[in-house]
A and B are shown apart, each in its own frame.
Chain A
Amino acid sequence: MLKLSSISKRFGGLQVLQDVSLELPPRGIVGLIGPNGAGKTTVFNLITGLLAPDKGTIEFFGKPLTGMPPYRIARVGLVRTFQNGRIFRDMSVLENVLVAMAHQTAYSAANLFLPLRRFRSAERREQEIAHDLLFRMGLFEKAHRLAGELSFGDQRRVEIARALATNPKLLLLDEPAAGMNAVEKQQLMDEIVKLDENGVGIFIIEHDMRFIMGLCRHILVLNFGRVIAQGMPEEIRADPAVIEAYLGRDGESVTAGTGIVI
């Protein structure tokens, strides 16, 4: 459904992405991995329209996205979360979710001045949908807390709930498990699996290999701005180029000390 064709992006003298082509299958959870600085977040920034590619095209269900403003890209069903968690801190959890629904409301600016009753019932319907989402993400009890007061794990969940409120076809998760403990990670994995079952496409950047290998059926590996491997988790695990990218050429002696499992 999402297709990037020979995308290049340069920041000053740094070639961040070099001729990157990738295609996401219509179903299933897809992972994007690679060492720090490989250009993973840049890929997300390009897809969501925050950055424009220097070369290449991005298509979503056959429709070109290049040149579209970010809000239009969100409306065609491509929404993301952020690496370091970007929530509206001084708004309640519920309001965070409602903001993402604003552009799909049935009532327009002119309706504001019509009878209060219609305004209220439209508003109540929105809140019900939002509460439903919060319930699914285990945040129902915290709906009226300020989002900035929540624990880090909960804040990441608010971000996902907010992204889901836009009704996405493809959800881009940028290191969703960062800073979570083992229990929270397991809950998050369960939630992501459920989203996949409900037909939402998932594209994840993640450093936690157990997390990514456990979730994804298809994995793409980026290093120095190029796709160096793609395939099933087993294939990636055995790929010499991937092992080299992560551990250097003298692989075996390094793995012993770092505890990194590939």
Chain B
Amino acid sequence: MEWLESFWTTYSTLVLSIGTNVLLALSIYLTLSCGLLTVANAAFMGIGAYTAGLLTVHTGTPFLFALIFGSLLPGIVAMLIGGPTLRLSGVYLAMATLAFGEVARILILNTEDLTGGALGLNGIPQMTNVLHVAVAVTGALYVLLRLAASPIGRTLTAISQDETVTELMGSDVRAYKLFAFTLGAVLAGLAGALNAHFTFFISPNEYGFERAVEILAMGVLGGTGSPWGAVLGGVLVTLLPELLRGLGHYRPLINGLILILIILYSPKGIWDLTRFVRRPAKLPALN
């Protein structure tokens, strides 16, 4: 057991980061799986982190409730902005959600009395442990796997392939998109709330453009064919820089190169490679 303890003291932060990043990857998987290129998830993460952090710091709200509010508020915001923005598609949707992310960041930056502004929010109690993260990731993964195997998941895939036809076959495409966007925001908010309670300190710049791109990279690298793809993407994007630590200055270079190679040789993400070993489902007998 001694090695486990020493492993844990060295790597606990990394393990917790993997967990929250997997949640973030799952959050972007939802919108990517129906063909929506949104980059608002970093902002939703920030809203979740600040909501939960402010609640525990200023009002002493119990951790569980802080997590719940930290997930719900981004979900509500997503519902409100989803109405107008999800009418857009492609690059225009990416631009609109990017702009929303900046608005959220600048808002946090300029409400110093409440959020601490550029100095960040300090002294968030460290309450997140590996069990919390494990429960959150398992729960989210379970929900998304069930969704993926259900008519809802199939409809989301169909929307990504031809949204007009999906609508003409009787599915309310706008409602499905809003659902994916909102649930994604809830997961991102949960990741933010969990993350804030083990980093002790959060600042608006953690939830800016760079984070948005990182989340997108996890989703795209992992692949949008299955929630498992998002899990792989989240783990890989978190672990890779750590594994390359020995490379010193060349680390970001090699890290980027590996990501480019993966996308070049498996454009639909890593999960897509498993199609070579997966067997198709059996036909049920006709009666």
A199: shortest Cβ distance to chain B, in Å?
A: 19
Interface residues of B in 161-203 (CB under 8 A from A): 161-162, 164-173
**Cα–Cα distance between A131 and B152 once the two chains are bound (Å):** 19
Contact of A71 (CB < 8 Å), options: B151, B173, B283: B173
For residue A229, give the distance in angstroms from its CB to the closest CB of chain B: 29
Number of interface residues of B (CB under 8 A): 29
Whether the pair A119, B146 counts as a contact (CB closer than 8 A) is yes
How far is the CB of A116 from the nearest CB of chain B, in Å?
8
- Whether A98 sits at the interface, judged by CB under 8 Å, is yes
Q: Which of A82, A92, A100, A163 has the most CB of B within 10 A?
A: A100
- Of the candidates B150, B155, B164, B173, which one forms a contact with A123 in the assembled complex, judged by CB atoms under 8 Å apart? B150
Known contacts A71-B170, A105-B151; is-contact A99 B164 (Cβ 8 Å)? no
Interface membership of B157, Cβ < 8 A:
yes
Per-position binary interface string of chain A over residues 64-94, scored 1 when its CB falls under 8 Å from any chain B CB and 0 otherwise:
0000011100110001101000101111100
Closest 10 CB pairs of A and B: A74-B170, A102-B151, A100-B169, A99-B158, A103-B170, A88-B161, A102-B155, A70-B167, A144-B280, A112-B146
Known: A88-B165, A105-B151, A131-B284. A113 touches B172 (CB 8 A): no
Query: Is A127 part of the binding interface, using a Cβ–Cβ cutoff of 8 Å?
Result: yes
Does A50 make an interface contact (CB < 8 A)? yes
Does A91 contact B157, Cβ atoms closer than 8 Å?
yes
A142 to chain B, nearest CB (A): 11
23 contacts between A and B (CB under 8 A): A50-B164, A50-B168, A69-B172, A70-B167, A71-B167, A71-B171, A71-B172, A75-B170, A79-B170, A80-B168, A99-B158, A99-B166, A100-B170, A102-B170, A102-B171, A109-B152, A112-B147, A112-B150, A119-B150, A123-B150, A144-B280, A144-B283, A163-B169
Assess the A91–B158 pair: CB atoms within 8 A: yes
Complex contacts, B281 vs chain A, CB 8 Å: 144
Q: B154 near A: Cβ within 8 Å? A: yes
User: Within the complex, which residue of A70, A86, A95, A124 is in contact with B154, where a contact is CB–CB below 8 Å?
Assistant: A95
* B268 to A, closest residue via Cβ: A90
A48 within 8 A of B: yes
| Interface: B286 (CB within 8 A) | yes
B154 contacts across to A, CB distance below 8 A: 91, 95, 98-99, 102
Q: Is the interface of A mostly helix, strand, loop or mixed?
A: helix
B149 shortest CB reach to chain A, Å: 7
Q: A70-B164, A103-B171 are in contact. List 10 more A-B contacts (CB 8 A).
A: A70-B167, A71-B168, A75-B170, A88-B161, A90-B157, A99-B171, A119-B150, A128-B284, A144-B283, A163-B169
Q: How far is the CA of A152 from the CA of B169 in the complex (A)?
A: 21
The answer on a CB contact under 8 Å between A102 and B152 is: yes
Is the C-beta of B239 less than 8 angstroms from some C-beta in chain A? Answer: no
Chain A window 53-69, contacts with chain B (Cβ cutoff 8 Å), 1 for yes, 0 for no? 00000000000000001
A144 to B275, CA, bound (A): 14
Interface residues of A in 131-160 (CB under 8 A from B): 131-132, 135, 140, 143-144
Report if B258 contacts A (CB, 8 A): no
A219 to chain B, nearest CB (A): 25
Chain B residue contacts of A70, Cβ below 8 A: 164, 167-168
- Cβ distance A68 to chain B, nearest Cβ, rounded Å: 12
Residues of B within 8 A of A75 (CB): 170
Q: Are B286 and A79 in contact (CB under 8 A)?
A: no
* In the complex, B57 has a CB within 8 A of chain A: no
Q: Which of B165, B173, B283 has the most CB of A within 10 A?
A: B165
With both chains docked as a complex, state the minimum distance between the C-beta of B160 and any C-beta of chain A, in angstroms: 9
Contacts of A112 in B (CB 8 A): 143, 146-147, 150, 152
Complex-state Cα separation, A128 to B149, whole angstroms: 16
The residue from B170, B286, B287 contacting A140, defined by CB atoms under 8 A apart: B286
Beta-carbon nearest neighbor of A49 in chain B: B168
Contact among B146, B155, B158, B169 with A74 in the assembled complex (CB-CB below 8 Å): B169
